[in-house]
């Protein structure tokens, strides 16, 4: 089994419900130091997915360079399309769903983020969309700008503005560019955040509900999120639930666990999941125990997002040739 630890490294303020287009502080990035003992002892090499409001600050970038070297980490791109230049004023309540923006504007914003990282010596080949707001338009831009691995799909979830990932695969796959929640012929590897249906096939049953006029879409989403899915994410659930999610994933042939959290979850008061110092400490302990369990039970190996690309590319090529890996 493989696992990858992905961290959205981003500015303050997002969990206040305010999506300002102005420059924002990013002091929470320094809290990443709290993971140093865990990562060094367990040889965890995370993927740090960095937003523009972090990448445009020299002092914060210096800290990231230091951590990248110390942890042998990967730095990827994390697009917050509401405050990454070019900024265009519109009448849509921020953050505007990405599919409502023009392809030219989305591409310009993506290249702006990629450029500021590259200028700092941190060339990104992995990516995550802000608020997981990835649809066909945004996915096709990734193919154009040199991204090899995306991790924006959240199975069993429908994201703000209509990015519908409810029925997406739960293990890494190469998508259909016109529908990144389905397998296809893209050369970009999709590594979804690990969330899976509690019962195999429940997603297919939920698909039938929209055909009924008496079942509102919001009810379907609530069922999928709260009753129909399990998330082996130490940031979201207790250790027992996280372990149960992995065991279920493995029993269905799952090969990769994608762990996700925000840099702000390491800073008390900045994220509702961990409002106190004690809550942050409990999360770090839970994350450590979860990774140790993955390694001991499944001999799980840590990979950065981009390191997964050749593994699945080779696996796909071997399958086409009738071979086994």
Element (H or E) spanning 244, and its range? helix 239-251
Token pair listed for 106: 């989305």
* Whether residue 177 sits in one domain with residue 248: yes
In a domain, 325, yes or no: no
Domain at 32, CATH number? 3.20.20.510
Token pair listed for 191: 């590594």
From 176, 210, 228, give the residue that closes a domain: 228
* 3-state SS record for 119-139: HCCCCCCEEEEHHHCCCHHHH
Widest CA span in the chain: 56
Can you name the residues that pair with 176 across neighbouring β-strands?
Answer: 179
Q: How far apart are CA 276 and CA 268, in angstroms?
A: 5
* Whether residue 292 sits in one domain with residue 268: yes
Half-sphere exposure of residue 91, counting CA atoms within 13 Å on the CB side? 0
* Whether residue 268 sits in one domain with residue 218: no
* Whether residue 241 sits in one domain with residue 96: yes
The domain of 299 spans 2-195+231-320
pLDDT tens, position by position, 32-84: 999 999 999 999 999 999 999 999 999 999 999 999 999 999 999 999 999 99
Query: Smallest Cα–Cα separation from 73: which of 137, 126, 151?
Result: 126
* Whether residue 91 sits in one domain with residue 49: yes
94 DSSP 8-state letter: S
| Residues 128/180, Cβ–Cβ less than 8 Å | no
Q: How far apart are CA 28 and CA 275, in angstroms?
A: 13
* Whether residue 207 sits in one domain with residue 62: no
Task: Tell me how many domains the chain contains.
Answer: 2
Query: Smallest Cα–Cα separation from 150: which of 138, 161, 162?
Result: 138
Token pair listed for 83: 């405050």
* Whether residue 243 sits in one domain with residue 214: no
Please report the beta strands in the chain, taking only residues with DSSP state E, as ranges in sequence order: 2-9, 47-50, 74-79, 126-129, 149-150, 175-176, 179-183, 189-190, 196-197, 229-230, 256-262, 301-302
| Residues 258/151, Cβ–Cβ less than 8 Å | yes
In a domain, 213, yes or no: yes
* Whether residue 220 sits in one domain with residue 103: no
* Whether residue 278 sits in one domain with residue 145: yes
* Whether residue 71 sits in one domain with residue 210: no
**pLDDT beneath 70, residues of the chain:** 159-162, 201-227, 316-325
* Whether residue 210 sits in one domain with residue 257: no
In a domain, 157, yes or no: yes
DSSP letter for each residue of 187-241: SSEE---S-EESSTTHHHHHHTGGGSTTS-HHHHHHIIIIISEE---TTTS-HHH
In a domain, 135, yes or no: yes
Q: Give the pLDDT confidence score for residue 164 in this predicted structure.
A: 86
* Whether residue 249 sits in one domain with residue 223: no
Q: Give the pLDDT confidence score for residue 323 in this predicted structure.
A: 40
């Amino acid at each position: 089994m493989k696992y990858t630890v992905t961290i959205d490294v981003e500015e303050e303020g997002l969990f206040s419900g305010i999506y300002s287009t102005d420059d924002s502080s990013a002091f929470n990035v320094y809290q990443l130091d709290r993971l140093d003992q865990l990562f060094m002892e367990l040889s965890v090499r995370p993927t740090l997915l960095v937003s523009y409001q972090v990448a445009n600050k020299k002092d914060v970038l210096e800290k990231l360079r230091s951590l990248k070297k110390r942890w042998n980490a990967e730095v990827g791109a994390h697009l917050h399309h509401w405050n990454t230049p070019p900024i265009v004023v519109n009448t849509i309540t921020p953050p505007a769903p990405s599919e409502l923006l023009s392809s030219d504007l989305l591409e310009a914003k993506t290249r702006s983020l990629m450029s500021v990282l590259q200028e700092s010596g941190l060339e990104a080949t992995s990516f995550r969309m802000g608020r997981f707001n990835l649809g066909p338009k945004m996915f096709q831009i990734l193919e154009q700008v040199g991204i090899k691995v995306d991790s924006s799909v959240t199975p069993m979830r429908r994201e703000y503005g209509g990015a519908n990932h409810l029925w997406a695969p739960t293990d890494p796959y190469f998508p259909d560019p016109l529908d990144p929640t389905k397998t296809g012929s893209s050369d970009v590897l999709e590594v979804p955040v690990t969330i899976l249906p509690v019962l195999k096939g429940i997603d297919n049953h939920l698909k039938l509900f929209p055909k009924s006029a008496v079942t509102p879409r919001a009810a379907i989403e609530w069922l999928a999120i709260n009753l129909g899915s399990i998330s082996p994410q130490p940031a979201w659930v207790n250790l027992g639930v996280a372990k149960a999610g992995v065991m279920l994933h493995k029993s269905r042939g799952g090969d990769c666990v994608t762990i996700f959290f925000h840099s702000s979850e390491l800073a008390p008061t900045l994220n509702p999941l961990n409002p106190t110092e004690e809550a942050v400490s409990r999360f770090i302990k839970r994350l450590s125990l979860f990774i140790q369990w993955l390694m001991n039970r499944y001999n799980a190996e840590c990979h950065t997002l981009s390191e997964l690309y050749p593994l699945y590319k080779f696996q796909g090529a071997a399958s086409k040739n009738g071979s086994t890996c």
